[in-house]
Structure 1
Amino acid sequence: MYKKIYITILALGLLAGCKKDPALVVPTDRVSTSSFPNTLDELNTILAPAYGNLKSIGLWGFELMPKALENSTHTGDANYNGDAAWNEMTANNLSVTNGKSQNAWTALYAGVTTCNVTLAAADFFEANKASSAQKADIDAIRGQAKFMRAFYYFQLETLFGEAYIKAGGVNEGKMGIPLYKEVPKNVETTQQARATTKAVWDFIKADLKDAAALLDAKVWPAAEIGRATKWSAKALLGKAYVFTEDWANAKTTLLDVINNSGKTLMPFAKYKDAFNGNTANEFNEESLFELNVDADNKGNYGPWGGVPNASTLNGVIWSPYILSEAGTETGARPLGYGGNLGVHDKNVTRFGYPLGYYNLVTNPAFDNTKPASFSNPAQVMDPVYKAQAQLVRTNKTADPRLYVNLVQPWVDVLNTDWNGAPKQNVPVSKPDYLAGQPNTYGWGFRKYAAIDYHINNVNYDKWNWYFLRMADIYLLYAEASIGSGDAVTGLEYINKVHRRAYDLPINTVSARDYTSLTAATPAISDPVLGTNPLRYERWAEFFHEGIWWFDVCRWRLGPQEATFYGTARNLSTPLTFNEAKSYSWPIPLTEFNANAKIAGQQNPGY
C-alpha cells in the first residue's frame, strides 16, 4: 500500500500493469513518505495499477463481460439461472444490490484512485526529487494517468449516468457520477454529490486533451507497447464527442486519428485470427489501445489469485463445446465451464445465416467395426445441410464476421486438447444441454474464446483485449459525418468497414457496398438492424466486444432489442425493457451507505 502525508488511498487491491515491462509491478511493502517516489521507476510503479486494475474481477478480468454485458445485450444466452445478479442483467432490471454492477462501480473508482495517486506522486517527485531532464518522462506518466482516469470515468458515466447528452445540449443537467479530481485528503472529501452529465463529460474531455498533449512526442519501446499514446487519447476523445453528439468536434478529432495516427484497418486474413491469442497480431495496425494479457494465472485461479498481472478468465464462461469422446452431442465437452453461457440463437440469423436448423442422421460413413468416437460418429449432421452450410461460407451469403465470432456445430473442427491429452481435431458440438433439441442452432463463441486449448485445465485467457481500434474510429466518424449532414462521407466510412469484412480493398468501391443509409443489411428480416447499415455494422463489427450495450443505450433501442431476442434461457418470462430506468445501472446501495452527499440522487426507477 502506498502511504503519503498528503494523500489517502481509497482502494489498492489492484493487479499490476503492462506485461512486457517487469518494472511495472505493485509493491507490497510500505514506503517512507519522505523518500517515495524517489526515482522514475518508483513513479512508474505507482502508475502500474492504473493499467492492471483493468483486469479486476469486476471489470475485464471476469464479471463485466460474461456476466454483465453479454447478458444485457443477449450476445450470450445463459443456461445457468442460479445467480440472481446474472439473471437481473439478462432481464435489464437491476436491483440496487446487484453484485455485478456494484463490483464494476467499485473497480472503476479504484482505477480512478490509482490515477489520482499517480498524478499526486508525479507532482511530489517533480517538486522534490526529479532533475529538470526528467520533465518529459514525468509528463508522459501524467499523460497516461490522465488518459486512464478519463477511460475509467467514461465507463462510469456510460454505465451509471442518468442519460446521454444529445445534440444541442439536451440532458446536460441530468445526473452524472461523482467526480473525484484528486485523492481525498480526509473523510469529508470522500463525500461527493453526483456531478451533472455536462460536468462529467467536460472533465473526461479535458483529461483526454491534456493526455494527448502530454504524450504528444512519446513513442514507447517494444517492452512498453501496452501503454497509452497520444492517439489512444485522441481516439477516446473523438468517441466522447460522438457520445455527446458534438458532431463538429467529433469529426475534426476522429479525422485527425484517421489521417495522422498511422493506423488503419488490419486485413481480413489477420482480423479473422486477431482475437484468440496469436501474439503476432498483438498491437497491430488497427489497435489504438488494448489490454495486455499474459497467458499466465500466476499459479492460481486467474484473477482470483490476487497476485500481480494474472491473466483474465472470461473464456472459462463462454467456451465452445466439442463432441463427446463417443462422437455425440449428448455429453459434449466444453472447453471451459459447462452449462453456463452459450450463444443466443437469434444472433446466428442476425449475421445473415439463411439456413434453418439442422438434423442428425445416421452416418453413411460409420465404420461399425470400430467403436463410435468423435472421428467415427454414429450420427452426423445431415450431409445435405452440411454441404449447404459450407456453400454459405464459400459464397459469403452470410456476413463473414459470423465465422470470426462463432463456431458452427459439425462444420467447424477445433484442434484442441482435453484434460491434458495431446491436441486432436474434434468437431464442434451443440452444448450438451441442447442435445436432442432439434430447433436450436447451438453455435459456440470463437472470438475471445479458447478454441485450441481446454481453459479449465489452466485457468487463464491468452488473448489481449481491444478497447479502441480503427474500425470503431471509422464508424464513429461515419456517425459524426451523418450527424452533421454529410451522408456521403458517412456511408463511405461504413462501407470501408463492411468491405474489410468481405476481404475487399477498403478504399475501393465494390459490389458489396451499401448504396444508401437505409439499404438492406445482412440481418434477415430484422426490424432493428435490417435497413440501418450504421447500426448493423456497429453490432456486427463489435459483436462480443462489450460495445453494443452502449449503442443500445445512447440510441434507446432497448424495447426493440428485447422484442427481437424474445426469450432467454435463464428467465421464465419473455424479455422486456423498461425505458424509464434500464438504460442506466443503479448507483449501488453500498455507495449510498458510504456517501451522504448522494442521498436522493439515485437514478430514476430504482
Structure 2
Amino acid sequence: MKKLISISCIALLTIAAGCSKFLDKKPISTVSPNNYYNSESEVNSALAGVYAICGMEFMWGGRIPIRHNASTDESFYSVTNQLVGVWWFNYDASDPVVTEMWTYLYTGIERANMLLANIEKTQMDEAKKTAIVGETKFLRAWYYFTLVQYYGGVPLKTEPSSSVNNVDITRTPAADIYAFVEKEMKEAEGMVREVTDINTTERISKSTVRSALARVYLQWAGEPLKNTAKYQDARDIALKVVQSGVHELNPDYKQIYINECQDINDWKECIWETGNWGNNSDANRIGGRHGNENGVRCTSNNDQVIGYAYGFNSTTYKLYHLYEAGDLRRDWAISTYTLNSSGVKANIGATSIYNRNCAKWRREYELLRPLNKNYTPTNFPIIRYADVLLMLAEAENEVNGPAAALEYINMVRRRGYGKPVNVPDAEADLAGLDQLGFRQAIQDERSRELCFEGLRKMDLIRWGIYLTAMRDQAIEIKARASATYQYAALAADRVAERHLLYPIPAIEMSLNKLIQQNPGW
C-alpha cells in the first residue's frame, strides 16, 4: 500500500481534491472522470486516494487515537499551554478538529463514490477489479461507521458530487447508517482477498472486513441504539476470524509496536494498519504522528540519534493500577523513563504516575535517518487480533454466558504475562466469573490490552458508562494527583451528556439548510 500511495500523489490532487465543506462541492479536477479510470494504474491511483485518508495525521495516523480519544479513564491530554479543544471538552461547532474529522471522512467517501461510479469502464483483470470494488466499498462503509460513532446520524451520500447547487442533504438516522455499513461490509467480504494472498497489513482483506464488522455490531448492540440482537452477529463474525486459522497473537507484546516502528508487516497479529512511511521530507509525505505526539517524552535535538517526542498522552492512576503483578504489558504501554536531548534515559520514580506517557510506539526503535522532529514512519494498528479475541469474548458472554468466553480472554491475558497463549496458566487465567463479573473483566482487559489505541472512548460510550467513568476520573485526579497535574481533572469535570456526540460542524450547518444540529450544541 505504501507503494500504491507513493505513485499516486498527482492523481489524488487532480481527481479527488478535498475541500472545507465537501458535501456541497463539485470535486475540483483538472482530469475529468470521462477521460480517467481507463487503466489499471489509474484505478490503483484512485484507490490509493481512498486509502490515504486512514493514514493521515488528521485521522488514524495521528488525531483519532491521540487527540479525539485522549480524555478517558485510561489517559489524559498532558498539554497545558491552551486548555481548549475536544480533549478538554472545551469546544463548539466551529472547532477545527471537529471540522477536520468531518471533512476528511467525507473526502474519503467522495473519493470512494467517484471510483465506484467509474470503475466498470476500466479494462483490467476482472478478479482485480472485483477486489478493488470490495476494498472501496469497505473503506466507504468504514468512514460512515466512524462518522456515525462521533456525530450520530449523518447525510448518506453514495453518488459523486455533480453540482454546487445540490447542497442540502438531510441526516440519515443512525440506525439506517449502521444498516448501510453492514450491507456494504458484507458485500465487501465476498469481494476482497484473503490476507494470505495479499501478505500485508495495509490493504483490506477478508479478515479486516470480518473484524471491522464485529466492532460495528458491538457498537450497534450498545448505547445509544441498544440493538442487542447484534451481539449474536458480533459473536458469529468474530468467530469466523478466529476459526480461519490464519491469525495468532505475537508471543511478545512489545514486538507488535517495535514492528510498527520498523515497517515490519505482522499480519497475523495486526489485521489492519495505517500505511505510514518516511520522514515527511520526501515527495510522498505519508509520515504520521505515532511515537512523536504520543511517545515517551524526549527532547532530542539530534536527528541521527533519537526522535523528538512530546508525550501528549499520559496515563491515569486507574490504568496504571489496573495491571496486576506479573503483567508485562504495563511497563511497555506506560513509560518508565523520559529521554533528554542526547537520548539518555532518566527513570521515573515508582510513585510518580501522572507524568508517565504512552510508550507503545518508541522513537528509539525507528530505523530511518534523518529523523523528523514531528513525523514518524510508524504504522498504527486500526485492528489487532487481540481485539478480535476480546470482542469475541464479550459477544460470547452476552449471548451464551462466560463458559466459552473465558478461553478467548485468557489467551490475551497469557500473552500479557509472557506465557504460551494456548496453555492454561494459573497466574494469568480468569475463572469462576458469572456473566456480570465477566462484563467487568472484559471492560478492564480491553483497557490493559488496547490502551492508547483509540478505542476506549467508544467502548465506554457503548457500555453506557462514559459519563460515570469521567466523573470518577475527576474525583481520582483531585484526590491523587500532585498540584502539577490537577489540571487533568478539568476535562473530566466538564463532560456532559452533549459530549457523547460531536456537534455538526458550523460550516456544514451554514451551507446545508436541511441538516439539524445535535442536542446541546
Q: Name the structure 1 match of 2:18.
A: none
Q: CA deviation at 1:82?
A: 1.5
Q: Counterparts of 1:363-442 in structure 2 under 5 Å?
A: 397=325, 399-409=327-337, 418=341, 426-429=344-347, 442=355
> Considering only aligned residues, what root-mean-square deviation do their CA atoms show, in Å?
3.3
Comparing 59-68 with 507-516, which one deviates more in the overlay? 59-68
Match of 2:160 among 183, 196, 210: 183
Question: Unaligned 5+ residue runs, structure 2?
Answer: 15-29, 222-229, 478-484
Contact persistence 2:261–2:379 (CA under 8 A): yes
CA gap of 1:217–1:136, structure 2 versus 1, over 3 A, is farther
Instruction: Give distance in 2, aligned partners of 1:21 and 1:262.
Output: 27
Q: TM-score, normalised on structure 1?
A: 0.72
Contact persistence 1:275–1:448 (CA under 8 A): no
Q: Counterparts of 1:264-283 in structure 2 under 5 Å?
A: 264-268=248-252, 271=255, 273-274=257-258, 277-280=261-264, 282-283=265-266
Question: Unaligned 5+ residue runs, structure 1?
Answer: 1-16, 162-175, 300-306, 326-332, 354-396, 522-528
Match of 1:595 among 508, 512, 519: 512
Match of 2:498 among 570, 581, 584: 581
1:445 is the counterpart of 2:358: yes
Deviations 1:253-278 (A, max 9, x none): 11111101511212126646446513
SS in 2 for 1:504: coil
Instruction: Give distance in 2, aligned partners of 1:481 and 1:236.
Output: 17
1:117 is the counterpart of 2:93: no
1:102 is the counterpart of 2:20: no
Q: Counterparts of 1:340-359 in structure 2 under 5 Å?
A: 341-347=312-318, 349-352=320-323
In terms of fraction of residues, the more strand-rich structure is 1
Instruction: Give distance in 1, aligned partners of 2:103 and 2:491.
Output: 31
Match of 2:277 among 294, 303, 316: 294
1:229 is the counterpart of 2:227: no
Residue 428 of structure 1 aligns with an amino acid whose one-letter code is A
Q: Name the structure 1 match of 2:449.
A: 541
SS in 1 for 2:236: helix
Contact persistence 1:317–1:337 (CA under 8 A): yes
Instruction: Give distance in 2, aligned partners of 1:466 and 1:22.
Output: 20
CA gap of 1:580–1:21, structure 2 versus 1, over 3 A, is closer
Q: Counterparts of 1:295-314 in structure 2 under 5 Å?
A: 295-299=278-282, 308-314=284-290
Q: CA deviation at 1:429?
A: 4.7
Deviations 1:125-149 (A, max 9, x none): 2xxxx26xx2221111101101111
Contact persistence 1:351–1:398 (CA under 8 A): no
Q: Name the structure 2 match of 1:514.
A: 430
Instruction: Give distance in 2, aligned partners of 1:447 and 1:276.
Output: 10
Question: Matched residue pairs, number?
Answer: 482
Residue 241 of structure 2 aligns with an amino acid whose one-letter code is V
Q: CA deviation at 1:441?
A: 5.4
Instruction: Give distance in 2, aligned partners of 1:140 and 1:324.
Output: 44
1:255 is the counterpart of 2:245: no
SS in 1 for 2:499: coil
Deviations 1:22-55 (A, max 9, x none): 5444425533544312111111111111111123
The alignment-based identity, stated in percent, is 22
Residue 292 of structure 1 aligns with an amino acid whose one-letter code is G
CA gap of 1:104–1:569, structure 2 versus 1, over 3 A, is farther
SS in 2 for 1:76: strand
Instruction: Give distance in 2, aligned partners of 1:491 and 1:76.
Output: 31
Deviations 1:526-570 (A, max 9, x none): xxx9x9210011111110110111101111222332233224654
Q: CA deviation at 1:83?
A: 5.3
CA gap of 1:235–1:569, structure 2 versus 1, over 3 A, is same
1:197 is the counterpart of 2:171: no
Instruction: Give distance in 1, aligned partners of 2:488 and 2:514.
Output: 36
1:207 is the counterpart of 2:184: yes
Instruction: Give distance in 2, aligned partners of 1:218 and 1:505.
Output: 24
SS in 1 for 2:337: coil
Contact persistence 1:143–1:214 (CA under 8 A): yes
Contact persistence 1:225–1:283 (CA under 8 A): yes
Contact persistence 1:405–1:543 (CA under 8 A): yes
Contact persistence 1:95–1:586 (CA under 8 A): yes
Q: CA deviation at 1:290?
A: 0.9
SS in 1 for 2:261: coil
Q: Name the structure 1 match of 2:227.
A: none
Contact persistence 1:351–1:401 (CA under 8 A): no
Deviations 1:581-601 (A, max 9, x none): 121111111111121111xx2
Contact persistence 1:323–1:428 (CA under 8 A): no
SS in 2 for 1:214: coil
Q: Name the structure 1 match of 2:23.
A: none
Contact persistence 2:295–2:357 (CA under 8 A): yes
Q: CA deviation at 1:463?
A: 1.7
Q: CA deviation at 1:604?
A: 1.6
CA gap of 1:288–1:108, structure 2 versus 1, over 3 A, is same
Deviations 1:96-123 (A, max 9, x none): 1222121111111111111111111213
